[in-house]
Structure 1
Amino acid sequence: MAPLGTRLTVTPKRGQALTATRPFAAGELVATFSNPILALPDGPSMRTTCNYCLRTRASLNRSLRTCSACKAAVYCDPSCQRAHWKVVHKAECAMFTRVRTNVGKDWLPTPTRAVAQVLLLLQARDAATEAAFGKGGTLEGNVQGFRDDEKVWADFELQAMAAVVYGGLLESEEMLQRAKEVLCKIQTNAFNRLDADTGMAGIFLDAELSMINHSCVPNAFIGFDKRTAMLRAERDIAAGDEIEISYIDNNLSRSTRQEGLRLYHFECKCPRCVDDLDTYQVASKSPVIPLNKFSLQPDLGRFTTTPVGAARVSSATVETAYKAWRIEAASGNDAIATQRQWKLCKALAEAKMWAVEPIPSTILQAVSVCQANPSTWAYALPLSCFLAIECDPFKLAAPFMPWRVKGVMMLAKLLGETARLTATEGLAKTCPDKTLDEVLEKSDQMCMCEGMLRLVVHWATIGASEDWEILQEAKEMLQEVETLEGREKESALLRKWAMDPDDPEANAFFKYAVLNPVNELAALAIGIMDGQLWSPSR
C-alpha cells in the first residue's frame, strides 16, 4: 500500500515506481515511513546509539542503558528497550552472547547483523518480513548481478556465513543460500543513514520506500528522524509525476555515478547522464532558483551564468582529475595530502568551476585541516564562506537541502567563535593572516552570525524535522544572540529581513552587515588554498 498522496505503479522499463496523486510544493513533506523492517545503527555505533529509536548518546547528553541479557544492545530508556525487544531484539539477543564468546566483541558488522535479523524474523514468521523477503516477496535482489561480481560475491558469502553462525541457525547450504539472497535484497533496497555531522549512522529499509526509483536529477530526497524516514519534494512535483530520488552523490562525474550505481544493476538514463551535464548546467535548469533570494547567494543571475573557463574543460578532464583525486584522497587527510589533492584541481580552478568536484570536497577537507591546527584555524572561516556562496548553491539549488543548511550552520558557529575572540581582543593573536584579521575587525561578526542562524532556522524548518539536531542548536544559539545587550536595533532589522527579505531597509542592512563581509572573506579563500595554508611556518 502506497503512502497517502502517492500510488505504486509499474512501468515497462523501470518496474515498480512511486507516483504522486496530488501536487507537492518544493520542500513539502510527501510521505513518512515509520515502520521499517530494518532500522539499526552501524556496528561501531551500536554501543553509542539507542538500538531502537536511533538517537545518539551525544544528542541525548546522557548515558544509555544496556540490555542485561546480551550486554551489547543499548537504549535511551525502558520504553525503547521494550519496543525493540518486541520488534526484533527478542530474536537476536542470544546472538550477541555467541559473538562475545566466540570473538570477544559486543557488536557485529552492520550487514551481518541486518541479515541475521531478517533470517530470525523469517524464522519467527513475521508477516512484514515475509512479505518483503520471503518467497515471492516484494523486494528485488539482483542476485545474479551480484554473483557475477566475484569480489562482491566473496564478501557476501563471508557475511552470510557469519549471520547464519552467530544467529544460531541451521548451517545448511539452503540456509546459506537464503542468507546471501537476503543480503542481496538489503544491498539493493536499504538506505544509508550516515550523517557524520550529527553522529548518525546505520541502515534503514522500508519496503514501500524502496519502490522509489533513482535519477541524478531527482525531484525528491530522503531525510531521517530517529526510526522515521521522511520523503520531501526537492522541487515542485505535479500530480502524475513519478517521484525520484538520488541513490548516490549525484554531483560527481558521470563515470563515478555509474560506478556508484553498479551495485544497483541498472544504467541511469536521466538527462544528466544522457547529455553528460555538469553541475552548473544542471543548476541553471533548476526550477527552485528563485528560492535563493533568501540565501547567501541571492544573485539569481549567477545560477544561469556559465563559469568563464568552462568551455576549456572537457568532461574527460573532469573525469581524469576526479579519478586521480580519489586515489590521492585515500592516502590521507592531513595538510600535506590535502595540498596534493588541491593541485589535482588546477584545471578546474583555472576555469573557476568551483562547484565541480573534486574542488568542493578538497576545500571542505581543508576546513577540517584548519580546525585541527591552532595556528590556522581562522582560515576555516573564509574557506567555509567560499563553500557557502560558490559551491553549495550550485550543487544543491534548493536552499532548504540539509547539506546546504549544515554549511551555513558551520559558518554561524565559526563566526560565534571569532566574535568572542574579537570581543576579548584575542583574535589578532590567533589569526594567521593580517588581511583576514582586518576583514574580521571591521565586520560585525555577531550580525553575520545572527543572519546565518536566521537562514538556518528558516530553511531547516522546511527541509528537515523539528527534532533535527542542527535546527535545535541553531534555535538555541539564536536565542542567546538575541539577548545580547546593545544589539536591539541590529536584531530588529535582521528579524524584519527574515520575515520579509524584500523590505528595502532590512534587505539593505542584510547586504551591508552580512552578505558583503561574507563575500570579502570568500575572496580570500583561493589565495589560502594556493599557498598560505601550506606555508612551512604554519
Structure 2
Amino acid sequence: MAPRLERFVSPGKGNGLRATASIRRGELVYSTEPLACCVSNRLARDVCHHCFTRRETLLRCSHCKMARYCNISCQKQAWSGHKRECKCLRSLLPRIPTDSVRLAARLIFALLSTSKGSSEELYTLEEHESHLSSMPEQKKQGLSQLASMLDLYLQQEVLGLAQEMTSALPPSCQEPLSLIAKVTCNCFTISDGELQEIGVGLYPSLSLLNHDCRPNCVMVFEGTKLQLRAVRDINPEEELTISYIETLSLTEDRRRQLEDQYHFMCHCQHCDSQDKDELMLSGDEASWSLLKEALPRLEGQKAESDWQALLESCSHLLSTIGANVPDDNLYKLRITDVALDASIHLGLWEEAVKYGERTLPVYRQYYPDPHPVHGVQLMRIGKLQHYLERIEDALDTFKQAYQIIKLTHGDSHPLTTDLLMKMEECRAEMDQQSSIARRHLSRTP
C-alpha cells in the first residue's frame, strides 16, 4: 500500500482516506487493479473481456458465445477468471444476466480462487456498506429480483461448493441480497481514456473515498487499472475526495442523484453555496424551460441512434428557442453537446466543429480545476479542427487539452501519448506549409 494515503474517520461521513504527505496536483496518489470486474453487456461485442481494449474484430469464446478477446493470449490469460463464469452463462442462454449480477458472481469466483490473495488491506469486503436498512422498499424489491437472478445464475456452478463459499466469503456476503446491495453501492464504472463507459469493477480500498462535487482527486482508467490523481495541491492530513457523479448539474439534481444512488445528502461547499446554479439557469426562463422539456425526447432519439432526426431537432431548437438563451445555460449546453455527437455520427465535420467550439468557453467555466471531461472535450474539438485542416487552431486546442490531460491522466497514459502525437503532427504540417510558402516566395520575381 502506498504510504501517501491512510484510512481515517472523516467527521460526519464515516470512513475516509486522507493524505499522509503533501501531494502536488497531477501526482499519482494510488493505482490498483480490481478485485473483480466485467465488461458492460451493451459493449460485450466491442471490448476485450480481459484487457478492456476496444477492437473492431474480437475472438469469441466458443462455449458461452459471449466473452470476446483481442487474441489467443488474452483468452488464455482470462480463462482462470472466465471458466466458472462460462459455465454459468451457458446455463442461462439465451438470457444474459445484468452487469451487477455478473460482477457479483465474478466477485464470488475471485474470492473462491486460491490464487487471488487479498491485497486490499485498507477496506475489507465485510466492511462495505449495503445500505439495505435505509433503502426505500421499491429499490429493495428491485435488488431482491437481482439477488434471485444471481441465485439462478450461480446454480450450475456452485452446486456442491457451499462449504467452500462459507469459508471463502465474509458472513455478510453469503446472503445474495446483501452481496448485490454491496456491489451496486460500491462498484466503479470503468471507462476508456475518452471517458466512455466500458465496464464495472470493485476496487475495495478506493471505496473509502468520500464524495465532493468539486473534488481534489479524479479517477482515470488504463485498461482495468484504476489511477487516482490529484487535481489540486493537497496538504498532509487533508481528506482525499472524488466525485461519485457527473457534476455538471444543478445542486438539486446532484443531491437527488446522490441520495437515490448512494443514500446521503451532499453538503459539500459547492452544494451549500449553490454557486453555479444561477449561471446554469441564465437567460429567459420561459425559453430554457422548453429546452429542458425537449431533452428526454432528444435522449430517446440518441438511444435509438436516429442521428439525422436528432440533429434536425437540435438545430431547430438552438436556432429558434436557443437564440433567447445564453450558451452558459445548462440545457442549451446539453443540446449543443447532443448536436455535436449527432454531427460526428453523420460525418458532418463542419457542423460538428461549429457546435463543439461553442461548448468550450462554457466547459472552462464549469470545470475550473483540471478535469478529464474538459480535457477530452478539447481533444475532440482539436481532432475536428485538424481534420478540417485548420492546423493552427487544432494545435492551440491540443495544447489546451494537454495542460489538462497531463495532470488528470499522467504522462504515460495512452491518451496523453496520442495527444502528444497529434501536436507533433500539427507542428510538422505547419513546418511543411511554411517551407512550401518560402519556396514559392523565393521563385517569385
Output the TM-score relative to the length of structure 2. Answer: 0.80
Which residue matches 1:527? none
Match of residue 153 from structure 2? 166
Quote the residue 1:486 is aligned against. Answer: 432
1:100-157, CA deviations, whole angstroms, 9 ceiling, x for partnerless residues? Answer: 3xx2x5x5421121122223445557664999998x80211101233x241x333322
After superposition, the C-alpha distances for 1:318-339 in whole angstroms (9 at most, x for unaligned) are: 9967863543444434034425
Contiguous gaps of at least 5 residues in structure 1: 281-305, 420-444, 491-538
Counterpart in 1 of 2:307? none
Amino acid at match of 2:365: F
Residue 464, structure 1, aligned to residue 409, structure 2: yes
Establish whether residue 21 from structure 1 lines up as the match of residue 8 from structure 2.
Answer: no
Cα deviations by residue, 1:8-33 (Å, 9 ceiling, x for unpaired) = 00134211100011111222211112
For residue 387 of structure 1, the aligned residue among 359, 373, 379 is 359
| Partner Cα separation in structure 1 for residue 266 and residue 212 of structure 2 | 7
1:473 aligns with 2:418: yes
2:67 & 2:424 partners in 1: Cα distance?
37
Residues 419-438 of structure 1: pairs in structure 2 closer than 5 A:
419=389
Judged with a 3 Å threshold, the aligned counterparts in structure 2 of structure 1 residues 275 and 479 are, in CA distance, closer, same or farther, namely closer
Displacement of 1:355 in angstroms is 3.5
1:449–1:342 distance in 2 versus 1, CA, 3 Å: closer
User: Structure 1 residue 180: deviation in Å?
Assistant: 1.8
Residue equivalent to 1:370: 343
| Aligned twin of 1:493 | none
The amino acid across from 1:277 in the alignment is D
Q: 1:65 to 1:486 in 2, by over 3 A?
A: closer
1:67/1:466 Cα in 2 relative to 1: closer, same or farther (>3 Å)?
Answer: farther
> Displacement, 1:44?
2.5
Q: Are positions 1:85 and 2:79 aligned together?
A: yes
* Matched-pair contact (CA < 8 Å) for 1:120–1:167: no
Instruction: Give 2:371's aligned residue.
Output: 401
Residue deviations 1:235-291 (CA, integer Å, cap 9, x gap): 1111111111111111201221122112201111111222222168xxxxxxxxxxx
Q: Which residue of 2 aligns with 1:143?
A: 132
| Residues 246-257 of structure 1 aligned to structure 2 (within 5 Å) | 246-257=243-254
Query: Separation in 2 of the partners of 1:205 and 1:404?
Result: 26
Cα deviation for residue 82 of structure 1 reads 3.8
| SS of 2:267 mapped into structure 1 | coil
1:52 matched residue in structure 2: 50
Question: Is the 8 Å Cα contact of residues 70 and 97 (structure 1) preserved in structure 2?
Answer: yes
Q: Which residue, 84, 89, 92 being the options, matches 1:99?
A: 92
What is the CA RMSD across the aligned residues, in angstroms? 3.7
2:397 aligned residue (438, 443, 452): 452
Q: 3-state DSSP class of the match of 1:72?
A: coil
In the TM superposition, residue 47 of structure 1 has moved relative to its aligned partner by 3.0
Task: Quote the Cα distance in structure 2 between the aligned partners of 1:83 and 1:254.
Answer: 45
Distance 1:326 1:383, change over 3 A: closer
Work out whether 1:335 is the aligned partner of 2:346.
no
CA 227–358 in structure 1, closer or farther in 2 if over 3 Å, else same: same
For 2:179 and 2:123, the matched residues in 1 are separated by: 7
**Equivalent residues in 2 for 1:275-354 (5 A)?**
275-278=273-276, 324-333=293-302, 334-339=310-315, 342=318, 350=324, 352=326, 354=327
- Matched to 2:352, the amino acid is A
**Matched residues in 1 for 2:395 and 2:273: separation?**
42
1:365-413 Cα shifts (integer Å, max 9, x gaps): 1122333456x6412223211211x211111113x42222222222222
Structure 1 residue 446 displacement after superposition: 1.6
Q: CA 1:38 to 1:357, structure 2 compared with 1: closer, same or farther past 3 Å?
A: farther
Contact 2:191-2:220 within 8 A present in 1 as well? no
Find the aligned partners of 1:162 and 1:129 in 2 and give their Cα distance.
29
Structure 1 partner of 2:98? 109
Counterpart residue type for residue 385 of structure 1: E
Name which of 357, 364, 367 aligns with 2:330.
357
Aligned residue number for residue 192 of structure 1: 189
Q: Is the 8 A contact 1:29 1:230 kept in 2?
A: yes
Deviation at 1:74, TM superposition (A): 2.3
- Report deviation, 1:189: 0.8
How many correspondences in the alignment?
415
Cα separation, 1, equivalents of 2:123 and 2:68: 27
SS of the counterpart of 1:239?
Answer: coil
Closer, same or farther in 2 for the Cα pair 1:279/1:406, shift >3 Å? farther
Match of 1:70 among 40, 64, 69: 64
The answer on whether the counterparts of 1:325 and 1:358 sit within 8 Å (CA) in structure 2 is: no
Residues 4 and 132 from structure 1, CA distance in 2 versus in 1: closer, same or farther, beyond 3 angstroms? closer
Amino acid at match of 2:212: S
Matching residue's letter, 1:370 = S
Residues 7, 21 of structure 1: 8 Å contact kept: yes
Is the 2:378–2:401 contact (alpha carbons within 8 Å) kept by the matching residues of 1? yes
* CA distance 1:68–1:366, change in 2 (3 Å): closer
Asked whether the 8 Å contact 1:402–1:463 carries over to 2, the reply is yes
Amino acid at match of 1:252: S
What secondary structure sits across from 1:57 in the alignment? coil
Displacement after TM superposition at 1:468 (Å): 4.3
Contact 2:27–2:407, Cα closer than 8 Å, also in 1: yes
TM-score, normalising length: structure 1: 0.68
Equivalences for 1:24-39 in 2 at 5 Å? 24-34=23-33, 36-39=34-37
Distance 2:374 2:54 in 1: 23
Match of 1:81, as an amino acid? Q
C-alpha separation in 1, matches of 2:11 and 2:358: 45
Is residue 215 of structure 2 the alignment partner of residue 218 of structure 1? Answer: yes
Counterpart contact for 2:24–2:232, Cα < 8 Å: yes
Determine the structure 2 residue equivalent to 1:263.
261
> What is the one-letter code of the residue matched to 1:90?
K
Tell me how far apart the structure 2 counterparts of residues 167 and 18 of structure 1 sit (CA, whole Å).
Answer: 35
What whole-Å deviation, never above 9, does each CA across 1:464-510 have from its counterpart, x for those lacking one?
145645434333333333333534589xxxxxxxxxxxxxxxxxxxx
> What is aligned with 2:271?
273
